[in-house]
Amino acid sequence: MNRVFAITNQKGGVGKTTTCVNLSASLAATKKSVLLVDLDPQGNATMGSGVSKNDLEISVYDVLVTSVDTSEAIVTTEGGYDVLPANGDLTAAEVQLLEFDNREMRLRKALKRVKDNYDYILIDCPPSLNMLTVNALTACDGVIIPMQCEYYALEGLSALLSTIEQIQGYTNPKLYIEGILRTMYDPRNSLTNDVSAQLSHHFGERLYRTCIPRNVRLAEAPSHGLPVLAYDRQSKGAIAYLALAAEMQRRHVAASPVEAEVG
Ligand code: ADP
Ligand code: MG
């Protein structure tokens, strides 16, 4: 059974794109077919996957706004996964989408046509709760929230949770929180441990046991257009994202034993 996850947090710089790229590559390394949807006009996930955002003839913008066939825009990457790429054109989509009826449904409709080709679809969201993010939350089964364990992180989280609740009551009643991911994790910092304990208390099993450490290789890899697994597979960052991919898949088996047997 395939799954669509939105990687979201309206805060910038928390590791959404890093998680999208490296989780995609790690799932691909375990022989899963993966599509990464770049829904941020900055196109960082596109570039970080080795696809030049400035040379795109067709991008996710065309798919959302001009109804170009989704498969025409998809590019295969060296990381072993596919990308539905984005660039600055997507900035205009935010306004142009408002002209459509069912404007929240555009991405869901676009992904329906390719969904069966993939085990996982991961959507990289922009750092805001705008119409693009609403499209992502409408198109996905679950949400993965990367966060840094710092004081203000929790404050931002409540705005995100209330948006998720609104979407549940509006376009996607089955939307759920797939997982909370601690990124740039530094256990030597006492505030990190406090926030971590609060997250554990609040989210219980929804909090991934895998933490992504602060690791310079993860920051370097995008400038080479590679996931960290292809850049330095021995690095702590690469190992952590492989562990996350494994944890994610174990959870699914545990959550749906019957499907796991027949599938
Ligand atoms: P977002 O997509 O949420 O804005 P990014 O994934 O782009 O966040 O990460 C923000 C910055 O932090 C980037 O420069 C990225 O390379 C760096 N970064 C992300 N995760 C890590 C990590 N675990 N260790 C070190 N640097 C990281
Ligand atoms: Mg990003």
How much is the pLDDT for 263?
A: 38
Protein residue with least CA distance to atom 26, ligand 1? 219
Judge whether 185 and 214 are in contact, CB under 8 Å.
yes
Beta strands 82-84 and 75-76, pairing class: antiparallel
- CA 253 to centroid of ligand 2, rounded, Å: 29
DSSP of 56-87, one letter per residue?
-SS-HHHHHHS---HHHH-EE-TTSSEEE---
Which residue reads 């989704």 in tokens?
70
pTM: 0.96
Protein residue with least CA distance to atom 18, ligand 1? 219
How much is the pLDDT for 1?
A: 73
Quick check: CB of 167 below 6 Å from ligand 1? no
Query: Running along the chain, 263 residues long, what does each successive block of 10 average in pLDDT?
Result: 94 97 98 98 98 96 94 97 97 92 96 96 96 97 95 85 94 97 93 92 95 98 98 98 97 67 44
Quick check: CB of 212 below 6 Å from ligand 1? yes
How much is the pLDDT for 150?
A: 87
Query: What is the C-alpha to C-alpha distance for residues 7 and 1, in angstroms, rounded to an integer?
Result: 19
What atom of ligand 1 comes closest to residue 240's alpha carbon? 23
Residue 243: is it exposed, middle or buried by C-beta count within 10 angstroms (0-12/13-18/19+)? middle
Quick check: CB of 138 below 6 Å from ligand 1? no
- CA 29 to centroid of ligand 1, rounded, Å: 21
Which ligand places an atom closest to the C-alpha of 244? Answer: 1
How much is the pLDDT for 241?
A: 98
Which ligand places an atom closest to the C-alpha of 42? Answer: 2
Q: Is the dihedral of CA 159, 164, 167, 169 positive or negative?
A: negative
Domains of the chain: 3-256 (3.40.50.300)
Which residue out of 10, 11, 18 has the highest number of ligand 1 atoms within 8 Å of its CB and is therefore the one to mutate? 18
Query: What is the C-alpha to C-alpha distance for residues 147 and 159, in angstroms, rounded to an integer?
Result: 14
How much is the pLDDT for 154?
A: 83
ipTM, 2 dp = 0.99
- CA 133 to centroid of ligand 2, rounded, Å: 12
- CA 232 to centroid of ligand 2, rounded, Å: 21
Reported as half-sphere exposure (CB side, CA atoms, 13 A), residue 127 has a value of 13
Angle at 17 between CA 90 and CA 103, to 5 degrees: 35
Quick check: CB of 187 below 6 Å from ligand 1? no
How much is the pLDDT for 256?
A: 64
Burial of 249-261, coded b for 16+ CB within 10 Å and e otherwise, reads bebbeeeeeeeee
Quick check: CB of 184 below 6 Å from ligand 1? yes
Amino acid identity at 68 = V
Which ligand places an atom closest to the C-alpha of 147? Answer: 1
- CA 17 to centroid of ligand 1, rounded, Å: 7
